[in-house]
Structure 1
Amino acid sequence: MMNWRSLMSSARIGDNKENKSSNPLRSDFEIDYDRIIFSAPFRNLQDKTQVFPLPDQDFVHTRLTHSLEVSSVGKSLGKNVGASIIENNDELSFLTPYDFGAVVGAAALAHDVGNPPFGHSGEQAISDYFLHNSKAKKIKDLLTTEEWNDLVRFEGNAQGFRLLTKNQKQGLRLTFATLAAFTKYPCSSTLPNRDKSRKSQKKYGYFKAEESVFSEVAQQLGLVQFDKSENVYARHPLAFLVEAADDICYSIIDLEDGFGLGLVTFEEAREFLAEILGDRYYPEKLENIASDKEKIGVLRAVAINTLIHQTSDVFMAHEEEILKGAFDKALTDLIPAAGTLERLSSFSVKRIYQSRQVLEKEAAGFEVIDGLLESFIEAVFCKFYDEKNYSGRHKSIYRLLPSEIQFKLDWAKSPYESVLEITDYISGMTDSSAVKQFRIMKGISLA
C-alpha cells in the first residue's frame, strides 16, 4: 500500500535525498511549476492546436491556454484533497494543502508538453509514418521490437515524460512527486497483457529509452508494482487529479469554443451547463447579463467549480482503494454529473471534433508531418547508417536541422536514439513552424 509521506517526496533524479528549499515561501513543488512555465516545450504550446487547428479567432484555445486552465483546476483539486488528507493524517503535518495543489498544478501544467503539432492527429501522423511509409520500413530491421513499438504507437504522454527527464544535469530536474503525478499511464508500449479495465493501461507513459528513469521514480515513491518483469505500476494517486482537471477543462471549454465558433447554439450550450449546475442554476440571474457570450462564460465558471467539488469528494471517498492500487477509473466517470459529461462528449464529437474546419486542418497536418519525417529521417539514416547513398539532397536537408539536434545526432549510440532525436525535433515544432518548414522544403514557398 502506498503512503503519502513517500508519495510527496521532494527528492529529484540524481539527488535522492529530500530537498529543503532555501526560500521558506517557495516549496520544491512550486519550483517545479516555475521551471516548467519557463521551459521551451511549454512556451511552444502557445502555437499548438488544442481542438481547432491554427485558429484565427482570439477566443479559441491553444495548447498553452488549455494547459494554464488545466493547471488552475488541478491546483484547486489538489488543495481540496490535500486539506482532507492532512486533516486525517497527523504524520503529514510537514505538508500543507498548497503542497498538494502545487504538485497537481505543476503536473497539469506540463500534461501536454509532449503533444506534436496539429493536436492528437499529430500523434497519429507520426505513428502512421512508421507504419505505412515505405521509406520507414527499412528502419524496422535496425530496431528491437520494443523500440519499434514506441514509434508505430507514438504517444504524446511518453514524449512528455521524455522531455521532462532529458538532460538531467542541465534540464528541468523535477521532483519525483511531480513526475509521477504527470504519468497517467505507468507502463511501457510493449506491455503484453494490458488490463483493459484499468484506465492507467489504456495507453503508455514512457518510451523504452526512459524505462529506467521511470523505474527510479516509481521505486523512490513506493508506487504499487503489479508486474516486476514488465515494470507495470499503479498510478501515483495525484495523477487521477491531473487527469480529472484535463477532463473537466476540455469538456467544458471545448463546448464554449464550439459556441464561439458558431458550431453550437446558445441554447445547446446553456442546456448542458445548466444540467451540470442542477439546483445551482438560476436562469433569472442571466437576464442581467448583456451578451450570450458572457452568459455562457458565467455558466462555464460555475460549472467548472461544481465539477471540482464533485471530483474532490469522489477522490476522498476512494482514497484507500487508490493508495492500495485497487482503484483505476477516471474520477469524472463517478461524479454526479458523469451522465451529462458523457452526453456532452458524444455531442462534441459530432458537432465540434468532426466539423469540416477541424477535419481539413487535421488532413493538412498528416501531410506536413509525414513529409518532414520522411525527409529528415531519410537524410539522417543515409548519413549515419547508409553512407553510400548519402546524396547532395540529403546533405542539404540534414543541414536544415538545428545545430543542437546535429550535435545530439553525432552522439547518438543507436538508430533508435537517432530516430528519437528527429521525433523530438518535429513533435516539438509549433503548428506554424512545421507548416513553414514543410513549404520551404517542398519548394512551395521560399519567402
Structure 2
Amino acid sequence: MKRASFAADPARSRGREFPENRDGTRGPRSEFQRDRDRIIHSIAFRRLRSKTQVFIAPDGDHYRTRLTHSLEVAQIGRVIARALGLDEDLTEALCLAHDIGHPPFGHAGEKALSHATLRHGGFDHNAQTLRTLMRLESPYCGHPGLNLTWDLLEGLAKHNGPKPADNWALEELDAEFDLELDRWPSLEAQVAAVADDIAYDNHDIDDGLRAGFLELEQLLALDFVADQWRMVERRFPDAPHDRKLRELIRGQIGIMVNDVIEHTQSQIEGIVALEEIRGAGKNLSGFSSGMAAQERSLKRFMYDNLYYHPEQLATAENARDVVARLYAAYEQEEGLLNQDWHEALPEGEPARSRHIADFIAGMTDRFAIDQYARIYGRRPEGLSNV
C-alpha cells in the first residue's frame, strides 16, 4: 500500500541521540528497519521469553510470555499500519519494544521494586523500557544504549498521549534527548498502543480458559463475547469445543482490528501531514465509542475474574516477596551482585539503589528464582499458578 502523507518517514527521521558514520556494510535498510533489527538482536528482547505475561512461572509451554505477547502485538500492529498507509517498520519496532522494561514476574515484580526504591525515585516499567534501550543495553563501541531514532523513542515514551516527566528516569532521558513529551506522538505509536490492548484483551482470555481460571459461561455474560460465540456455533456446529474457543478469540481480534481501522480512517479524514497528527490535541487511532465501551466491559471482567482471582493474587504476592527479598539482599551485601554489576556499583545514593533495581529489572523469572535460591538456600514456593 502507498505510504500516507501523514505517515512517519524514515528518510525524515529526527535522527539519533549519537551521530553514526556507516560504511555501508550493514545492508540497505531504512532507519526504522535498523531500529527494529537492533531491538530484535538485543539481549533485553531475548529475555522477554522468560518473563511473566499473566501466569507466573507456568509449567506449560503454551501460555504467553512477554516475548510471545510482544510478537502478537507486532502482528496486529502491522496489519493496522498497512491498512492505514503507515510505516510498518516503525509500528513493528514500537510493538516489539513496548514491554522491555518489565521486571521479572510482571506487575508483582514492579510493585516490589517501586516500594523498595520509593526513597530514591521509585520504579516505572515504561520509563525502564526507555532506560534499558537508551542506556543499559549497550552493545556498541561508540555510544551507550541502542541509539534508536527519536521517532521510536518518543513513541515509546508517550504512546498513550502527552506525558509529564513524572519519573526520574524519564526526566533524565528527556533532558538529554528532548522527546517533546507535551505533544501527541505519531500515528504509528498510537496504533502500537491499541494493538497492545487488542492482543492482551483476547490472548489473556485464551490463556485464562486454558488454565481453568475462566469458564466460557462466565464470558457469555458479556454481550460482545456472546454474539461472537453464537456466530462461531452457527458456522462450525460440529467442530471440537477447543477449536471453537480459538475461533472465538480470532474472531474477536478481527472485529476489533477492523473497528480500529475504520474509526481511525474517519478521525484522520482531511489530515495530510504528520505535524497535524502531533498537533491534533487528541488520540486519532483507537476504538469507536461503541467498541470502546465493550472493551472497557471486557477489561473489567478480566480484572474481576482473572487478574484479581484469589489464586492469581496469592501467587503475585509470593512473587513480589521474591523480588523484595532479592533487593534487600543486594542492598545489604553488595558482593552478592554478579561481578560486572558489582564492579559498576555506584557508591552514593540514589545511583546505588537505582543500579540494584536495574540489575533486578533485567532478570527473567527463572534467573530471579535461581538467584533467590543461591542467596537464601531454598527455592521460593508458590510461584506457579497453573
TM-score between the two structures when normalised by the length of structure 2 = 0.82
CA contact (8 A) 1:46 1:62 kept: yes
Q: Are 2:213 and 1:210 aligned?
A: no
Compute the displacement of 1:267 (Å): 4.0
Partners of 1:3 and 1:77 lie apart in 2 by: 15
Considering only CA atoms, is the larger Rg found in Structure 1 or Structure 2? Answer: 1
Structure 2 unpaired stretches of 5+: 381-386
| Aligned partner of residue 337 in structure 2, secondary structure | coil
Partners of 2:165 and 2:79 lie apart in 1 by: 26
Partners of 2:222 and 2:93 lie apart in 1 by: 30
CA contact (8 A) 1:75 1:101 kept: yes
Partners of 2:188 and 2:267 lie apart in 1 by: 12
**Partner amino acid, structure 1, of 2:253:** I
Partners of 2:308 and 2:8 lie apart in 1 by: 45
Percent identity reads: 27
Compute the displacement of 1:329 (Å): 8.0
| Change in CA separation of 1:266 and 1:336 when aligned onto 2, cut-off 3 Å | same
User: How many residues get paired?
Assistant: 364
Partner of 1:71: 74
Partners of 1:159 and 1:125 lie apart in 2 by: 14
Partner of 2:129: 160
Partners of 1:273 and 1:72 lie apart in 2 by: 27
Partners of 2:230 and 2:26 lie apart in 1 by: 45
Partner of 1:119: 106
Partner of 2:282: 327
| Change in CA separation of 1:105 and 1:213 when aligned onto 2, cut-off 3 Å | farther
For residues 291-302 of structure 1, the aligned pairs below 5 Å read: 292-302=241-251
CA contact (8 A) 2:159 2:190 kept: no
Partners of 2:168 and 2:97 lie apart in 1 by: 14
CA contact (8 A) 2:14 2:150 kept: yes
| Aligned partner of residue 415 in structure 1, secondary structure | coil
Compute the displacement of 1:182 (Å): 1.8
Match of 2:337 among 385, 401, 426: 401
Farther off after superposition, 253-262 or 316-325: 316-325
| Change in CA separation of 1:285 and 1:6 when aligned onto 2, cut-off 3 Å | closer
For residues 386-397 of structure 1, the aligned pairs below 5 Å read: 394=333
Partner of 1:314: 263
| Change in CA separation of 1:204 and 1:275 when aligned onto 2, cut-off 3 Å | farther
Partners of 1:50 and 1:266 lie apart in 2 by: 21
CA contact (8 A) 1:310 1:335 kept: no
Partner of 2:63: 60
Match of 2:237 among 287, 293, 297: 287
Compute the displacement of 1:5 (Å): 5.9
Match of 1:371 among 325, 331, 334: 325
Partner of 2:209: 259
**Partner amino acid, structure 2, of 1:433:** F
Compute the displacement of 1:76 (Å): 1.5
Coordinate RMSD, CA, aligned? 3.3
CA contact (8 A) 1:185 1:203 kept: no
| Change in CA separation of 1:213 and 1:234 when aligned onto 2, cut-off 3 Å | farther
Q: Are 2:16 and 1:12 aligned?
A: yes
| Change in CA separation of 1:184 and 1:18 when aligned onto 2, cut-off 3 Å | farther
| Aligned partner of residue 350 in structure 2, secondary structure | helix
**Partner amino acid, structure 1, of 2:31:** D
Compute the displacement of 1:247 (Å): 0.6
Compute the displacement of 1:79 (Å): 1.7
Partners of 2:328 and 2:317 lie apart in 1 by: 17
CA contact (8 A) 2:117 2:353 kept: no
Partner of 1:178: 152
Partner of 1:247: 197
Partners of 2:31 and 2:24 lie apart in 1 by: 7
Partner of 2:32: 29
| Change in CA separation of 1:351 and 1:329 when aligned onto 2, cut-off 3 Å | farther
**Deviations along 1:248-300, whole A, 9 cap, x unmatched?**
1111111111111122223444675964976993532222422x221121221
Structure 1 unpaired stretches of 5+: 84-96, 132-139, 141-147, 187-197, 224-230, 379-393
For residues 122-161 of structure 1, the aligned pairs below 5 Å read: 122-131=109-118, 140=119, 148=120, 150-151=121-122, 154-161=123-130
**Partner amino acid, structure 1, of 2:96:** L
| Change in CA separation of 1:129 and 1:22 when aligned onto 2, cut-off 3 Å | closer
CA contact (8 A) 1:182 1:242 kept: no
Q: Are 2:372 and 1:438 aligned?
A: yes
**Partner amino acid, structure 1, of 2:312:** V
Q: Are 2:309 and 1:355 aligned?
A: yes
Partner of 1:415: 349
Partners of 1:352 and 1:366 lie apart in 2 by: 18
Structure number with the bigger relative contact order (C-alpha 8 A, sep ≥ 6) is: 2
